[in-house]
């Protein structure tokens, strides 16, 4: 689904804190207002255990968002666009990260992608109150690296119909990639007491300013029996500063969860 590109020259585009709509809008997204299930766009500049929705307050805020363009090298036929959006659940109910889409506009307001990039990965797919989650993607496209692009995104968060299922993680190791970026691996142990399917794992890497700059993730594990462990290789899910090395990682967070494809 995501194309992982290796680049030697990078053009970093930092996006400031913004009000992002992830299906929840109509109120003060940085406050504690109840908000209806609607959608709106957010822009940034280059320079979220029952079988039905929970009762309670649903609100969130976008705490960080960035995108970066990586220029082509001699062995590549396209540039790379990396996007990372961090959201925090500020309400009183679990939120399901339903999906997101992004596009870039040039200074004249023209969209640079023929269609919005959709189905951004989410880690995890359900966030409890006071917890954070991430939408991210890394894809190959062609861009004019001299243009001052703006990013706009549309995301959808909904009241979760059931609580998230999380597994234990340990033994994270990080490795510098010779072409830029960071890879890794970690152990996932099923401590839920039941067999789990569609298990996904990820590590979020933070810089010295405590901002997330990369997410490395692994492919879905089809099945993991209760009590079993497995080592998972982690590759670039998104990296908005591929010049940073393992020595630049101030801290990391790891997560493994039962990935659901629908809000059930």
| pLDDT tens per residue across span 163-172 | 999 999 999 9
CB 253 within 8 A of CB 203: yes
pLDDT of amino acid 126: 95
Cβ-proximal residues to 178 (8 Å cutoff; 6+ apart), any chain:
none
Per-residue pLDDT at 37: 32
Q: Which of 68-77, 78-87, 180-189, 206-215 has the lowest mean pLDDT?
A: 68-77
Strand order across the beta sheet in which 10-13 lies: 10-13, 60-70, 79-89, 132-141, 121-123
Most confident segment among 54-58, 63-67, 177-181: 63-67
- pLDDT confidence tier of residue 34, bands split at 50, 70 and 90: very low
The two three-digit tokens of residue 16, written as one number? 């400031």
| Separation CA 109–CA 30 (nearest Å) | 28
Q: Give the CA angle between residues 121, 29, 134 to the nearest 5°.
A: 15
SS3 at position 248: helix
Most confident segment among 94-98, 136-140, 155-159: 94-98
Q: Do 220 and 141 form a contact (C-beta atoms < 8 A)?
A: no
166-258: same fold as 10-159? yes
* 166-258 classified as CATH 1.10.1740: no
Domain boundaries, the chain: 10-159, 166-258
What's the predicted TM-score (pTM) here? Answer: 0.78
Please determine, for residue 31, whether its predicted confidence score (pLDDT) is greater than 70. Answer: no
Q: Note the Cα 252 to chain centre separation in Å.
A: 14
pLDDT the model gives residue 121: 87
The values of phi and psi at residue 141, to 5°, are -150, 175
Q: Is residue 178 exposed (0-12), middle (13-18) or buried (19+ Cβ within 10 Å)?
A: exposed
- Give the range among 24-28, 143-147, 152-156 with minimum mean pLDDT: 24-28
Residue 137 has pLDDT above 50, yes or no: yes
Q: Is 75 a residue whose pLDDT tops 80?
A: no
Q: What percent of the chain has pLDDT over 70?
A: 76
Q: Provide the residue count of the chain.
A: 264
Write down the architecture of domain 10-159 according to CATH: Sandwich (2.60)
């Amino acid at each position: 689904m995501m194309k992982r590109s290796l680049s030697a020259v990078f053009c970093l585009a930092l996006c400031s804190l913004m009000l992002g709509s992830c299906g929840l809008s109509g109120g003060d997204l940085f406050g504690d207002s109840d908000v209806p299930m609607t959608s709106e766009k957010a822009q940034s500049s280059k320079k979220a255990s029952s079988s039905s929705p929970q009762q309670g307050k649903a609100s969130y805020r976008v705490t960080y968002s960035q995108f970066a363009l990586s220029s082509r090298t001699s062995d590549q036929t396209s540039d790379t666009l990396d996007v990372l959006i961090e959201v925090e659940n500020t309400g009183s109910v679990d939120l399901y990260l339903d999906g997101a889409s992004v596009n870039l506009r040039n200074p004249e307001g023209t969209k640079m992608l023929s269609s919005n990039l959709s189905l951004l990965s989410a880690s995890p797919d359900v966030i409890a109150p006071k917890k954070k989650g991430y939408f991210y993607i890394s894809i190959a496209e062609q861009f004019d690296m001299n243009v001052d692009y703006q990013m706009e995104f549309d995301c959808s968060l909904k009241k979760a119909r059931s609580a998230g299922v999380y597994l234990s993680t340990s033994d994270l190791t990080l490795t510098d990639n010779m072409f830029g970026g960071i890879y890794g691996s970690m152990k996932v142990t099923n401590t839920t007491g039941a067999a789990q399917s569609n298990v996904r794992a990820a590590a979020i890497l933070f810089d010295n300013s405590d901002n997330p700059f990369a997410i490395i993730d692994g492919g879905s594990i089809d099945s993991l029996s209760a009590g079993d462990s497995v080592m998972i290789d982690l590759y670039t899910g998104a990296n908005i500063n591929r010049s940073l090395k393992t020595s630049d990682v101030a801290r990391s967070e790891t997560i493994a969860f039962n990935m659901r494809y629908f809000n059930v």
